[in-house]
Amino acid sequence: MKLKHCLSAVAIIAAGTLTSITPAAADSGKYVALGDSYAAGVGISNILDKPCSRSDRNYAHLFAAQRGYALTDVTCGGATIDTVTSSQLPAVTADTTLVTLGVGGNDIGFGQLVKDCVLAGTLGTGSGTGSLATGSASGSAGAVAEVVAGCKNKYGAEMPGRLSMTAAKLAQLLAAIRTQAPQARIVLVGYPKILPDNASLCAGRQPVLTGDVDWIRESVVGGLNTMLRSQPGTTYFSTYELYDGHDVCEAVPDRWVNGTSVDNGEGAQFHPNQYGHAATAQKMVATL
């Protein structure tokens, strides 16, 4: 039976008191939000653009409302750096004063990686349910063994190269943004802490192998954030620390990011829910 949506006090604070925050400063001008599903707030009502699953409660909308920006939000679920360049970049114009950009996860293949990690965890531990875990290994004994060995075993050697290629594409996108909006402040929004420091917390809660938990946290999410942080001429905005105690393996009422099922709030599997977006916006109001 699905657990009830019982909110912890800290989640209520993050989701419900944003409107009471006194802005650090009143801003005006055009703010353009670019990025993928983690920026778009996929699955969180109300959805403004069905093909992109863009929510009016994503961090961009909440932040812009508090700080007085005129927001143009073109974030879109499934976006890569290439599709941001082709489909979202035209929204950035000479009068843009602020750009937030959250992208890179799809470029390193995060969606397929999560599916393979969940499958490995399901087969290796016999735990977990949900649509991401309904697949089964098939084929040769070697192929099955590769799955059971985990996604670190499958993707570990490739990840540095994927991150390097993503960094090169990102540098080109940032150069294009600067060309189109020379006066704009560019803020790169990092990815949240999806998995806990203590992998044992996931036992019985999410189907993932212990070795994969540490690898995803440190080498995938950590590697992606390090790459984003290193881009010159930008401001890096970290969401990682916000999710301490709110990852997919926490008790349901404390989760700000969904696991194999959506048990607390709204959103998509392995994406932030509305409480995560509210907390992100709250930090943006206070620090940007």
* Residue 272 DSSP symbol: B
* Residue 148 DSSP symbol: H
Instruction: Output Rg (C-alpha) for the chain, integer angstroms.
Output: 19
User: pLDDT tens per residue, the chain (288 residues)?
Assistant: 333 333 333 333 334 334 333 444 556 799 999 999 999 999 999 999 999 999 999 999 999 999 999 999 999 999 999 999 999 999 999 999 999 999 999 999 999 999 999 999 988 754 433 344 434 444 455 555 666 789 999 999 999 999 999 999 999 999 999 999 999 999 999 999 999 999 999 999 999 999 999 999 999 999 999 999 999 999 999 999 999 999 999 999 999 999 999 999 999 999 999 999 999 999 999 999
Q: In the chain, how long is the greatest CA-to-CA distance?
A: 62
The pLDDT score that the predictor gives to residue 140 is 54
Report residue 263: phi and psi, to 5°. -105, -20
The pLDDT score that the predictor gives to residue 149 is 82
Q: At a CB cut-off of 8 Å and minimum separation 6, what does 235 contact?
A: 185, 186, 187, 188, 288
The pLDDT score that the predictor gives to residue 6 is 34
Nearest partner of 216 among 115, 113, 146, 124, judged by Cα: 113
The pLDDT score that the predictor gives to residue 123 is 84
What is the Cα–Cα distance from 267 to 256, expressed in whole angstroms? 10
User: pTM score > 0.75 for this model?
Assistant: yes
